[in-house]
Amino acid sequence: MRRPGPVGTPVVLADGRRLSGAMLRRLFVGQCLVLGLHLAWMPAWFVGLAVAVAGYRYRQLRRDLPRASLGLRLAAVGGLVLALWAEYGGLGEMAALIGLLLGVYLLKLLETHDRRDARVVVVIGLVALCVAFLHDQGVPVALAALVVLAWQVQSLAWLSGARDRRQAWGETAWMLVLSAPLMAALFLVFPRLPPLWNMPEMTRASTGLSDTIAPGDIAELSRSDARAFRVTFRGEVPPPGERYWRVYTLSHFDGVRWQRVTPPQLSATLGLPVSRFVREGRFSAWGEVTSRPRYRYELLLEPDSRPWRPSLGTPRRAASPQRFLADGTLEGREALRSRGLLRLSSSGAPPTYQDPAGPGWHSLLPAGSNPRSRALARRLWGQSDGDPDRYLQAVLARFGEAPYRYTLSPPRLDGQDRVDDFLFGTRAGYCTHYASATAVMARMAGIPARIVAGFLGGERHPDGHLTIRDYDAHAWVEVWRRGAWRRLDPTAAIAPERIERGAAAVAEGREAFLADAPFSPLRLRGIDWANRLRLSWERLEYEWQRGVIGYQGEARDRLVARLLGALEESVSALIALGPWRMMGLAALGLLGVWGGWVGLAGVCRWRPWAPNQPRRLRALQAWLARRGHPGLPGESPAHHLRRLAPRAGPAGPALLAAAAELEGLLYAPLPAGERRRRRRILARRLREIRRRWPRRGWRREARRGIVTE
Give the span between the Cα atoms of 391 and 380, in whole angstroms.
6
Share of the chain above pLDDT 70, in %: 87
pLDDT over threshold 60, residue 259: yes
Q: What is the pLDDT of residue 676?
A: 79
If asked whether residues 155 and 225 sit together in one domain, one would say no
Q: What is the mean pLDDT of residues 652-665?
A: 83
CA–CA distance from 326 to each of 70, 355, 469 (Å)? 62, 6, 26
pLDDT in tens, 56-88: 888 888 777 788 888 888 999 999 999 999 988
Asked which of 492, 524, 541 is the last residue of a domain, the reply is 541
User: For residue 572, what pLDDT band results from cuts at 50, 70 and 90?
Assistant: confident
If asked whether residues 226 and 333 sit together in one domain, one would say yes
Q: What is the pLDDT of residue 29?
A: 93
Contacts of 44 (CB under 8 A, 6+ apart): none
If asked whether residues 631 and 486 sit together in one domain, one would say no
| Structural domain includes residue 376 | no
Model's pTM, two decimal places? 0.69
Asked which of 541, 557, 588 is the last residue of a domain, the reply is 541
pLDDT over threshold 90, residue 150: yes
| Structural domain includes residue 427 | no
Q: What is the pLDDT of residue 511?
A: 75
If asked whether residues 221 and 300 sit together in one domain, one would say yes
User: For residue 700, what pLDDT band results from cuts at 50, 70 and 90?
Assistant: very low
Q: What is the pLDDT of residue 558?
A: 66
| Structural domain includes residue 216 | yes
State which residues form the domain around 668.
613-704
Q: What is the pLDDT of residue 601?
A: 64
Q: What is the mean pLDDT of residues 41-53?
A: 90
Q: What is the mean pLDDT of residues 421-433?
A: 89
Q: What is the pLDDT of residue 560?
A: 66
Q: What is the pLDDT of residue 17?
A: 60
Q: What is the mean pLDDT of residues 336-363?
A: 88
If asked whether residues 114 and 217 sit together in one domain, one would say no
Q: Across the chain, what does the average pLDDT equal?
A: 82
pLDDT over threshold 60, residue 497: yes
Q: What type of residue sits at position 554?
A: E
Q: What is the pLDDT of residue 588?
A: 78
Cite the active site residues. 431, 474, 489
Q: Is the separation of the CB atoms in 272 and 356 below 8 Å?
A: yes
pLDDT over threshold 70, residue 263: yes
pLDDT over threshold 50, residue 1: no
Q: What is the mean pLDDT of residues 354-381?
A: 90
Q: Is the separation of the CB atoms in 181 and 188 below 8 Å?
A: no
Q: Is the separation of the CB atoms in 507 and 406 below 8 Å?
A: no
pLDDT in tens, 265-324: 999 988 889 988 999 999 888 876 556 788 999 998 888 878 889 999 999 999 889 999
Q: What is the pLDDT of residue 346?
A: 92
If asked whether residues 528 and 655 sit together in one domain, one would say no
Q: What is the pLDDT of residue 556?
A: 61
**SS3 breakdown of the chain: % helix, strand, coil, rounded to 5?**
55, 15, 35
Helix (H, G, I), strand (E, B) or coil at 281: strand
Q: What is the mean pLDDT of residues 558-583?
A: 71
Give the span between the Cα atoms of 536 and 527, in whole angstroms.
14
Q: What is the mean pLDDT of residues 113-119?
A: 88
Least confident of 13-17, 226-230, 564-568, 622-626: 13-17
Give the span between the Cα atoms of 660 and 668, in whole angstroms.
11
If asked whether residues 174 and 217 sit together in one domain, one would say no
Q: What is the pLDDT of residue 311?
A: 93
If asked whether residues 174 and 216 sit together in one domain, one would say no
Rounded to 5 degrees, what are φ and ψ at 467?
Answer: -115, 125
Q: What is the pLDDT of residue 196?
A: 43
Q: Is the separation of the CB atoms in 648 and 628 below 8 Å?
A: no
Q: What is the pLDDT of residue 501?
A: 79
